[in-house]
Structure 1
């Protein structure tokens, strides 16, 4: 499946925030509810499981702001979770010829423009072209966007994706999320090798320590 996807997605990246530590080890990292946290906003190249970008923040940092720190590749695909969607930034990605696949939030307001037929035996539930109708979302993203609903039989979960790519098959867009396990493997490795206790209680030292991990990982 992964080789098949790479034919459709010549450049495929996954963006996610992760890593949290205790307040006693990182007292500079004040997270939600007074819980210390270190976030590593990471762009992982899914073709080689290699991180190409890591941006370190504390737990209070809004995930969507990390998109302002990334230099996106034109015509590449970026798989993101819904924490990174505010429509203003994804629209900038669209204008820069960058493709995104992002989980939709449950409170998404929209109207259907076109509804394509889908083979429900594949797990697909809908493939639609929609226009956003929320007060802010329609202003931030005035163009059409594609919505794909997919039922994951293995996890018994229905997922809704948004993308600005209208050419690829709906199932290809849905299946790309199956590649996200690679970033989980990478961060499992980080948690096994990263010790904030030994890298100091300052953001600069934390960042330096974590930035060095990808080179060890490779």
Structure 2
């Protein structure tokens, strides 16, 4: 590996300019530009996200130093406000196919699909099309995150005032076990999930009634603080569930009692508690992209520009994670790096020799060098 290998070069190795053109052609947008094309705008977004540039003005100033064509910042801004963000959303959905599977420490028959949302706000002057609070606008990214792959499965975008619950059904996938928080725990939806064979572990709101509880006999599990393991009807009156559901109550690390409902009958209550704890992986993901991929620093003011930037940031995360997982498992223990350390060393072209060697091997593999997407 050349120690000066740039991230953008690797990005283009996975997603070629021709594939970007193909994705653009699948939309109604006609790219008539000869200089600032969709591909060049993507290059600028990728580089700005990866290097932490503060906006179009700084991107235009620093871009030529990183082998990008010289473009005026107003031209970049105008292009970002013109190109449909659906193009970048489709690109993100394509690049995520290079996710790597990792070992499942819970030994479940299916991978966990962690579903949650994150809110990104900006002054009303910058996001007037998405009113949120008195002086702030805001949007939400509703994310389905694979616990086994440490990466994205699906993403939906809405304004910040949109409720989370309806997106839970949109992001559901019967190939996974859903892990959702209280905002998604609609009683009628639990019955539907059971009817359609969708496995789930969902936290219940504290004020929901549990009717006709019946204790399940389970063996003791060491230090696991299981309070109750029952089957019951959930809710009351017109809002009562039709089916009996399994509810597990346990204490979290702060001593608070957490109630989750699940269709998993063979798993022990301790495993159910561990599944819920795995939900924090998506919180770590949200914190990571906000801290390290320039997400809170929005460049544009239009809906197209804002969502385009965010979907490119998610694309960059997927590719960074792919490269990291591909190298990390083959590097000796004494040379291990965290995901954050890997990104920082690569950003300044200073990866340790052991990582450079494995990086070169990864780039030469057919599943990387010849990546193609339908």
- TM-score tier by shorter-chain length is 0.7 to 0.9
SS in 1 for 2:123: coil
Change (3 A) 1:77 1:68: closer
Change (3 A) 1:187 1:105: same
Q: CA deviation at 1:212?
A: 2.2
Pick the aligned partner of 1:201 from 301, 306, 314: 301
Q: Which residue of 2 aligns with 1:36?
A: 137
Change (3 A) 1:14 1:136: farther
Paired residues for 1:66-105 under 5 Å = 66-74=167-175, 76-105=176-205
Q: Which residue of 1 aligns with 2:98?
A: none
Superposed structure 1 runs of 4+ greater than 6 Å apart: none
Gapped runs of 5+ residues in structure 1?
none
CA RMSD, 1 decimal:
2.2
In terms of fraction of residues, the more strand-rich structure is: 1
- Higher-Rg member (1/2): 2
C-alpha distance in structure 1 between counterparts of 2:133 and 2:187, whole Å: 24
Paired residues for 1:57-206 under 5 Å = 57-74=158-175, 76-117=176-217, 119=220, 121-138=223-240, 141-152=241-252, 154-192=253-291, 193=293, 194-198=295-299, 200-206=300-306
Gapped runs of 5+ residues in structure 2?
1-102, 319-374
TM-score using structure 2 length: 0.52
Per-residue displacement from partner, 1:157-216 (whole Å, max 9, x unpaired)?
221111122221111111112222221221112212214531x22333322222222321
C-alpha distance in structure 1 between counterparts of 2:134 and 2:268, whole Å: 42
TM-score using structure 1 length: 0.86
C-alpha distance in structure 1 between counterparts of 2:172 and 2:312, whole Å: 20
In terms of fraction of residues, the more helix-rich structure is: 2
Structure ranking higher on relative contact order (CA contacts 8 Å, 6+ apart) = 2
